[in-house]
Chains A and B, each alone.
Chain A
Amino acid sequence: MHVEQISIFIENKSGRLAEVTRILGDAGVNIRALSLADTSDFGILRLIVNDREKAKAVLKEKGFTVSKTDVVAVEVPDRPGGLSLILQTLDGENINVEYMYAFVERCGENAVIIFRFDETDRAIKSLLDKGFNVLEGERLYGM
C-alpha cells in the first residue's frame, strides 16, 4: 500500500527545476506527480515517477541530493466534501498529515491525493477501515 516518492533538494535559483525535469526526460523517466515546497533559499521537489531507481541514479550522478520517502495515495470520493471526509477520519485518529498534493491523473472518476503521514501504516489501516480506496504503488507508477 506504500507508494515510493523521490525527494530532491534544490537551491532556489533559476533553472534548477528545469534541470531536474530535463535530466529525467533525457533518461526516459516519466513524472506521474509532482509537488514543489519551497522557502526563500531552497526547495524540496517531490516526485512520483515510473522508474524510481533510474530517476535516483541519474539525479545522484548529476550531483543532486535525493532521498526516497514512503507516501500514501488515496482516491477521493467524487462528491462535495470528499477530501474533508478523509481529513476528518485522520484527525479522529490523531494522525498528522505532513504534506499532501494532487496526483495528475484521475482514477476513473475520482481524483487521487498523495499524503505524507507521520505514521504511515496506522494511517493506511484507518483509511481502509473507513472504506477509502488506498492505491497500490505499482498501479500509480504505470498510470
Chain B
Amino acid sequence: MRAMMFNEEFETLPRQALEALQLKRLQSMLERVYANVPFYRTAFDRAGIRPDDVRSLQDLQRLPFTTKQNMRDSYPYGLFAAPMEEIVRIHASSGTTGKPTVVGYTQKDIETWTELMARTFVTAGAHKGDIIHNAYGYGLFTGGLGAHYGAERLGASVIPISGGNTKRQIMIMQDFGSTVLTCTPSYALFMAEEAKIEGVDFRNLKLRVGIFGAEPWSEAMRVEIEEKLNLTALDIYGLSEIMGPGVAQECYVAKSGLHIWEDHFIPEIIDPETCQVVPEGTKGELVITTITKQGIPLVRYRTRDITSITYEPCACGRTHARLARLSGRSDDMIIIRGVNVFPSQIESILVGIEGVEPHYLLIVDRQDNLDTLEVHVEVDERLFSDEIKVLQALSRSIEKEIKDMLGVTSRVKLVEPKTIQRSEGKATRVIDKRKLV
C-alpha cells in the first residue's frame, strides 16, 4: 500500500515522464536566464554553449557552475531573473563572512515552495489535524516562513513559535498539544536538556513526529533524539539559495534517504576537487539546478553539502531520487594530515560511547608542521568516575575509536559539563587555529 502523498500524480511520476518534464522545464529556464540575467549570458557565452544546445539532461554537465561567491558578487539583486515588481518576498542567508546571499520569490515561487513544503510534511507523516510547533526562525532566514506556509496548505494548525525562549517553547508544546516539531536537531537536544531541568517528561507530550534540518546530523543523534523526545525523527533538507526548507525530505516509510523533489530540482553529485559528476551512490558535493524558479533560478548551484544519491525505487512509492543523510559540508570538511574528516563522523563515534553527550568541540592546530586534533568532550554524571584511571581509559578508548574509524590520531580532553558553547541555532563544532595564523 502506498504512503499518503500530497501530490500523488507528481510524486509518483514514472522515471521516463519525470525526466521528460525535467528536460522541458530545464530548457525553458535556461532560455529565461540567458535572456534576463547578464551573469548567465556571459557565463554561457564563455563556456561556448547556448540554451538550445541543451537537448538532453546529460547536456546539463556542459553548463558552468554557480557558486555562493557568484551570488555575493551579484549582491543584492544581480542574479534575479524576474523584474522587481514581480518579486513578492525577499530572504537572505546569514553571511558569516561578508554580505549575505539574497534570494527573491515571485508569487508563483511562493506557491511552489508552499506545495513542496506541504509534500514534505506529508512525506514525514504529518497530516491535516496535526498541531505543528514550528521552532525554525522566522525572518530573513527561510526556515520559519517556509515551513509555516506548507503547514497551512496542509490544513494543519501551525504554531509560529520561532526560535528561542526554550522554557516557553516547552510550556507551549505541553499546553497546546503540539504533535509535530520542526527545528534544528541540536535545538531538539537542547530542548530535551531544558525539559529535564524543568521536570517535563516528553513521554507525557503529544509529539509524534520531528522534522529536523538546517544542519548535518547523524544516525546516532537520531536514536538519541527519538529516545529523549519520544517521537519519530526525520531529516529535512533545504537551503535558501535553492528555495528554503522542503527541497528534500526523508519519508517515514523507508526512513532511508531524503526524496528530492525532482519535478522542480535536478540534483547532481560531483567530486568537489575535480568537479566531475560521480557515479550513483558515490559520495560527493550536491549540485542543484532549479528548473521552475522564476525569481532567482540557479544553474548547477554548488551547495557545498556532501551526500550521495540513489534512484532505487522507494518503499513509499515515490519515484523521486533520494539523497543520503548529509554528512557535512565540503567547506566544513577538515583535512587533518591529509585525511578528510567531517565533524559528524566524530559525533557518531561519541554518541556510540555510553555516557557521552554529543557536546563536543574539535580544535585543529599545527605543531611543528604537523596537524593536531584535540577533541573536547563534556563529562556528565553517567560517565564520571572518582578514579583517574577510569576516566583516562575513557579518553583512550575515544582516541582509539577515532583512530580506528577515521585513521586520525587525536587527543581527547575531558571538560566540565555545559562548558562547550550551546546554541539555539547551528552549533559551533570546529575551531581551526591553522586558519588564524
Contact = CB atoms under 8 A, between A and B. Distances in A.
B389 to A, nearest CB: 8
Given A44-B386, A44-B388, A98-B387, A65 B413 contact: no
Contact of B388 (A5, A39, A63): A39
Contact residue range for chain B? 10 to 19
A20 to B, nearest CB: 11
Contacts of B351: none
Given A65-B381, A66-B381, A67-B381, A5 B419 contact: no
Name the prevailing secondary structure of the B interface residues. loop
A50 interface: no
Interface in B353-387: 379-381, 384-387
Q: DSSP class of A's interface residues: helix, strand, loop or mixed?
A: strand
A142 B40 CA distance: 82
A66 B380 CA distance: 9
B414 A41 contact: yes
Given A65-B379, A66-B381, A67-B381, A11 B388 contact: no
Interface in A71-130: 98-99, 116
Contacts of B415: 11, 42
B384 A11 contact: no
Interface residues of A, number: 21
Contacts of A44: 386-388, 391
B418 interface: yes
A46 B386 contact: yes
B413 to A, nearest CB: 5
Given A9-B379, A39-B392, 15 more contacts: A9-B384, A9-B391, A9-B416, A11-B416, A11-B419, A39-B388, A41-B413, A41-B414, A42-B379, A44-B386, A46-B386, A63-B417, A65-B416, A98-B387, A116-B386
Closest 10 CB pairs of A and B: A7-B386, A69-B386, A65-B384, A41-B413, A63-B418, A37-B388, A9-B379, A11-B416, A42-B414, A9-B384
